Chains A and B, each alone.
Chain A
């Protein structure tokens, strides 16, 4: 009797451990419908971008077809004004149009958050210097300043990203600074300092976890803006150099051929899905990262 029960009680924790391991693979915060949808769309796009050369119906650069054909069985998304397959270009464009803006948003999030939190926490000289530089950038229209920087560095995708980074970090610095200023007066921050936290430990342990949610949400909303900004630079010949496919540049092309709606609608839809997916993910992250709402999120978890 005791022999038969003993293995059963040993087996039970194992089953639970396996279940726990399986659950750990995908954090509970991200298991709500919105986050799953967002992640799924992003994953699909990343896979498509990766496999683009293999699954593409045609060479995205080849001008082999009749110009301005509407969508048909042969060309699902139609052809553009130079006789290139729009579907092939959308697939290939994912490489530039998703990865570069993503890289840009992540790097401006990092630069802006670090600069903003130093300005907000240390105040005085650090605050004045960092925020005046930020104001300097804010003083110019974003696209004009990005143009000037990109033009002076020379047209290439790398330079376009550097130019966009320079114009986009101040927004994060601004938001982070104001949140840090408020949070650094909280009693838990003071209590942490009284327990011997250095200013940087205090920033990392007590302040940033409490203020990062709105900044992350801002970043996910900014992915769309970044795609469009890169498109703008590409349109001016300062980003993706033609004929490299880029969604933004394709939308711009479509504007010139207004009657051929398919040229701009399909890359536009591609931008829409990516931006929407990141917004879903951002919302889910915000709720999931906050322990006060995390329980409610887990309640809805799939």
Chain B
């Protein structure tokens, strides 16, 4: 399998006032093939989101390199994004903040269509239909939609640009339980349908198990285990993974609370 995204000993750290630098991502190497769905799991604060932001060029690297389809990913800063890197798109965690409140849904999806190399691939009503929204949504504003609908609009906008890699940074974390599986499944289907890979970040292992092919487990800035999702699930090698899996609430009637 040719590798679409290649992370080579990536290290990202933050400056914390009055303390030594906080290393959020420490020496992470990872590769992701085309049309592959990778679930990245780990507890809060383990560096998942920082890694996602680094892949999109939103964080500078201390050391190591990220290569996307042969192009090195550099920090975006104040430049216009490299055309090749437009093929990486991200869906954010908070659906209430990820859409511009002053512009209609149609206009925002058109922003995505404008950078799609295949201009005839989608139309706005098409995309809205694919994320199970009414075509009349295009002339409405974000505040007229619920959280789950907004997240689907954000997914439509990302897909509109024809990405080769879709990064979901906990896209289901702020949705209610009944919607989580649906939105996650929608992301997987849309990504695969358009020939894109999906990096799905979540702390919800049960959803990752359903939608991901591979899973990578992250702890304290490092990737501790990576493998086929079913294998990791049935036979976790690392103690941290075992701990994480055992923390999934079970419907066993015993009332054990996780963690």
B143 and A191 contacting across the interface, CB-CB below 8 Å: no
CB within 8 Å for A196 and B154 given contacts A186-B97, A187-B97, A188-B98: no
- Are B102 and A209 in touch, CB under 8 angstroms? yes
Q: Which residues of A contact B154 (CB under 8 A)?
A: 191
Q: Does the CB pair A188–B81 fall under 8 Å?
A: no
Residue of B nearest to A201 (CB): B80
Query: Whose C-beta in chain A lies nearest to the C-beta of B81?
Result: A196
Q: Is the CB of B141 within 8 A of A192?
A: no
B83 within 8 Å of A (CB atoms): yes
CA distance A104 to B196 in the complex (A): 54
A196 interface neighbour in B58, B99, B103, B115, Cβ under 8 Å:
B115
Contact of B92 among A191, A196, A198, A292 (CB under 8 A): A191
A-B contacts at CB below 8 angstroms, number: 66
Q: Which of B76, B86, B94, B103 lies at the interface centre, i.e. has the most chain A CB atoms within 10 A of its CB?
A: B103
User: CB-nearest residue of chain A relative to B113?
Assistant: A195
Residues of A near B56 (CB, < 8 A) are 194
Q: In the complex, A205 Cα to B111 Cα: how many Å?
A: 11
The prevalent SS among residues of A at the interface is helix
Chain B window 100-140, contacts with chain A (Cβ cutoff 8 Å), 1 for yes, 0 for no = 11110000000110110000000000000000000000000
- CB pair B86–A210 under 8 Å, yes or no, is no
Contact A192 B89, beta carbon cutoff 8 Å: no
Inter-subunit contact B111/A192 (CB<8 Å):
yes
Specify which chain A residues have a CB less than 8 angstroms from the CB of B88 in the assembled complex. Answer: 194
Task: Answer yes or no: A199 CB below 8 A from chain B CBs.
Answer: yes
Taking a contact as CB atoms under 8 Å apart, the answer to whether B80 and A187 are in contact is no
**Total residues of chain B contacting the partner, CB 8 A:** 30
- Asked if A197 is an interface residue, CB under 8 A from chain B, the answer is yes
Q: Say yes or no: is A291 at the interface (Cβ < 8 Å to chain B).
A: yes
Whether B222 sits at the interface, judged by CB under 8 Å, is no
Chain B residues with CB below 8 A from A195, complex form: 86, 89, 111-112, 114-115, 157, 161
CB distance from A30 to the nearest CB of B (A): 18
B90 CB within 8 Å of chain A: yes
**Cβ of B22: which chain A residues have Cβ within 8 Å of it?**
none
Is B78 at the interface (CB under 8 A from chain A)?
A: yes
Interface size on A, residues (CB 8 A): 21
Interface of chain B: mostly helix, strand, loop or mixed:
loop
| Contact between A187 and B86, CB atoms less than 8 A apart | no
Q: Is B94's CB under 8 angstroms from A187's CB? A: yes
Q: Which residue of B lies closest to A186 (CB)?
A: B97
Asked if B83 and A196 sit within 8 Å, CB to CB, the answer is yes
The smallest C-beta distance from B175 to any residue of chain A, in angstroms, reads 15
Q: Which residues of B contact A140 (CB under 8 A)?
A: none
Q: Are B115 and A191 in contact (CB-based, < 8 A)? A: no
B138 nearest CB across to chain A (Å): 14
Instruction: Mark each residue of chain A from 17 to 44: 1 if its CB lies under 8 Å from any CB of chain B, else 0.
Output: 0000000000000000000000000000
Q: Are B102 and A197 in contact (CB under 8 A)?
A: no
Q: Which of B79, B81, B86, B89 has the most CB of A within 10 A?
A: B81
Knowing A187-B92, A193-B81 touch, does A292 contact B58 (C-beta < 8 A)? no
A290 to B141, CA, bound (A): 11
CA distance A194 to B111 in the complex (A): 11
| A206 proximal to B (CB < 8 A) | yes
* Residue contact B99 to A188, C-beta cutoff 8 Å: yes
Nearest-neighbour CB distance to chain A for B167, whole angstroms, equals: 9
Q: Is the CB of A194 within 8 A of B78?
A: no
Closest to B94 in A: A187
> In the complex the two chains form, what is the Cα distance from A55 to B176 in whole Å?
68
CB-defined contacts of A191 to chain B, threshold 8 Å: 90, 92, 98, 154, 157
> For A76, what are the chain B residues with a Cβ–Cβ distance below 8 Å?
none
**B78 with A122: CB separation less than 8 A:** yes
- Among A188, A199, A209, A290, the residue within 8 A (CB) of B78 is A199
Tell me which residues across on chain A come within 8 A of B76, comparing CB atoms. Answer: 193-194
Q: Is A190 an interface residue (CB 8 A)?
A: yes
User: Interface residues, chain B, CB within 8 Å of chain A?
Assistant: 56, 58, 76, 78-81, 83, 86, 88-90, 92, 94, 97-103, 111-112, 114-115, 141, 143, 154, 157, 161
Q: List 10 A-B contacts (CB under 8 A).
A: A188-B101, A190-B92, A191-B90, A191-B157, A194-B81, A195-B86, A195-B111, A199-B79, A205-B100, A292-B141
A binding-site residues for B, Cβ under 8 Å:
122, 186-188, 190-199, 205-206, 209-210, 290-292
What 14 new A-B contacts, CB under 8 Å, besides A191-B157, A195-B111, A205-B100? A187-B97, A188-B101, A191-B92, A191-B98, A191-B154, A192-B111, A193-B81, A195-B114, A195-B115, A195-B157, A197-B111, A199-B78, A291-B143, A292-B143
